[in-house]
Amino acid sequence: MNRVVVHYHEIALKRGNRPAFVNQLVDNIGRALRGTGVKRIRALAGRIVVNLTPHADWPEISRRLQRVFGIANFALSWRAERDIDAITATVLEAIDGRQFSSFAVRAKRADKGFHIPSPEIGRLVGSAVVERSHAKVDLRNPELTINVEVVQREAFVGLGRVAGPGGLPVGASGTVLALLSGGIDSPVAAWRMMRRGCQVAFVHFHGAPYQDRTSRDKVMELAQLLTPYQLDSRLYLVAFGEIQRQIVTQVARPFRVVLYRRMMMRIAEALAASTETRALALVTGESLGQVASQTLSNLTVTEEAVSIPVLRPLIGMDKAEITAQAQQIGSFEISIQPDQDCCQLFIPRHPATRSTVPEIHAAEQALDIPALVRQGLESVTVSTFASPAIRATAASEQTKAPATC
Ligand code: ATP
Ligand code: MG
């Protein structure tokens, strides 16, 4: 073992922008694998090769690469000279000491200048493996898959491919700010945006001083869970209880939920513009029609409060689909813990399912919106999270507002 060969899929379909995506992926792999025994990472035609030190920690490397978006699959690999005898000898070295009763050799020439066609490489290598191991060839359901890839100046032998998470490398699509509520939906929405190549910052609105810490603790746990996918995260916590109380004293009951949402959007927009975040869009976990605040008219009214784009990656998913994804990510168990959700604070039993922009503008006349936004921003605390790869210190909580917002 001395290499990992990483394959990507979606990036390979890009044309002009492909080098930028590949560079981002190389960078992310390097950061994710810090401290595991990596010597060098290089991009070759259609694949990325990670050179390892003799004491590299393969189980840990495999665990971390499974969270690097942009990777289609990867395999523990050995380098060989571009020569069929050298390739065969390397395969025999790679399988030395392994127990398996059936196998398949999958050969691929990325460089068609190599004189032996792929099926013939498979046949030649396969018969040497049969002779050495006495295992059966099983092309359909092999216990061990041996991949042989011939590239321009060398060849690689890989054993047992591991699936990566797919998608695009984090950072390739810019930064977004996700509104994280502590419910089931918003962590899934944030994860899906990471998978589309976004670095995701988080903001959570909590009911202090009228509610306890439970929603904050949950969101901290969710941010920690999501961080290995993007290596470092920033979470803004906004005290929203007092702002809600002021809305409640000034505005008729049915509109309160929509007004809360519009205030959240405005504060989030200001945080998105801060120099330390520079997010290009907001992200929510809304799904059309799921609850009263998520009717098409309420979504429109909510969004009208800001000029930054609002992305809703779950808009067409139903609760069962979102729940299944939350379980797969591991956020479900955290999300279902009971908490005090600020959206439940001072809300009417029957919130308006259909509000209109003029109606809401009229209701907001009673409020000093810039002052409420300022109040929210002054309450902000920032927590930062780092995955083990780049963790210098444990997650730290600072009590200061972000710069220039
Ligand atoms: P979730 O499961 O994400 O809580 P939900 O189905 O409970 O969503 P709502 O409570 O209506 O729906 O919230 C819709 C979206 O608004 C959330 O997905 C989230 O993006 C945002 N949001 C709601 N409450 C908060 C909050 N307290 N802090 C941050 N974002 C919030
Ligand atoms: Mg919620």
For 90-105, the pLDDT digits (tens) are: 999 999 999 999 999 9
Res 77 pLDDT > 90: yes
Amino acid identity for residue 349 in this structure: R
Where does the pLDDT of residue 394 fall: very low under 50, low under 70, confident under 90, or very high at 90 and above? Answer: very low
Question: To test the ligand 1 pocket, which listed residue (179, 191, 282, 346) has its Cβ within 8 A of the most ligand atoms?
Answer: 179
User: Which whole-number Å values give the CA distances from 305 to 186, 188, 250, 260, in the listed order?
Assistant: 20, 24, 18, 11
* Residue 293 Cα to ligand 1 middle (Å): 10
Q: Which domains does the chain have, with CATH numbers?
A: 3-163 (3.30.2130.30), 175-398 (3.40.50.620)
Percent of the chain at pLDDT above 90? 79
Res 375 pLDDT > 80: yes
Which atom from ligand 1 is nearest to the alpha carbon of 240? 27
* Residue 276 Cα to ligand 2 middle (Å): 26
- Give the β-pairing of 155-163 and 144-150: antiparallel
Average pLDDT, the chain: 92
CA distance 368 to 346: 19
Question: To test the ligand 1 pocket, which listed residue (185, 298, 323) has its Cβ within 8 A of the most ligand atoms?
Answer: 185
* Residue 93 Cα to ligand 2 middle (Å): 55
Which residue's CA is the nearest one to ligand 1's atom 1? 183
Where does the pLDDT of residue 383 fall: very low under 50, low under 70, confident under 90, or very high at 90 and above? Answer: very high
User: Which ligand does the CA of 287 lie closest to?
Assistant: 1
Res 325 pLDDT > 50: yes
User: Which ligand does the CA of 313 lie closest to?
Assistant: 1
The answer to whether the CB of 209 falls within 8 A of the CB of 216 is no
Q: Give the lowest-confidence range in 128-137, 361-370, 387-396.
A: 387-396
User: Which ligand does the CA of 336 lie closest to?
Assistant: 1
pLDDT of residue 350: 67
Which residue's CA is the nearest one to ligand 1's atom 14? 286
pLDDT of residue 136: 97
User: Which ligand does the CA of 179 lie closest to?
Assistant: 1
Res 161 pLDDT > 60: yes
The stretch 136-154 carries a mean pLDDT of: 96
pLDDT of residue 395: 43
292 or 327, higher pLDDT: 327
Residues less than 5 Å from ion ligand 2, measured at CB? 181, 183
pLDDT of residue 389: 62
Q: Which residues does ligand 1 sit against, CB inside 6 Å?
A: 179-181, 183-186, 204-205, 264, 284-286, 290-291, 293-294, 342-343
Which residue's CA is the nearest one to ligand 1's atom 6? 185
The stretch 298-322 carries a mean pLDDT of: 96
* Residue 162 Cα to ligand 2 middle (Å): 35
Q: Give the lowest-confidence range in 87-101, 242-256, 328-342, 344-358.
A: 344-358
User: Which whole-number Å values give the CA distances from 273 to 231, 269, 301, 304, 312, in the listed order?
Assistant: 22, 6, 21, 17, 19
* Residue 166 Cα to ligand 1 middle (Å): 27
The stretch 215-237 carries a mean pLDDT of: 97
User: Which ligand does the CA of 293 lie closest to?
Assistant: 1
Q: Give the lowest-confidence range in 80-89, 166-175, 328-337, 355-364.
A: 355-364
pLDDT of residue 397: 43
Where does the pLDDT of residue 349 fall: very low under 50, low under 70, confident under 90, or very high at 90 and above? Answer: low
Res 306 pLDDT > 60: yes
The answer to whether the CB of 174 falls within 8 A of the CB of 198 is yes
pLDDT of residue 56: 95
* Residue 261 Cα to ligand 1 middle (Å): 9
CA distance 50 to 78: 11
pLDDT of residue 345: 74
Which atom from ligand 1 is nearest to the alpha carbon of 215? 27
Amino acid identity for residue 199 in this structure: Q
- Give the β-pairing of 47-52 and 38-44: antiparallel
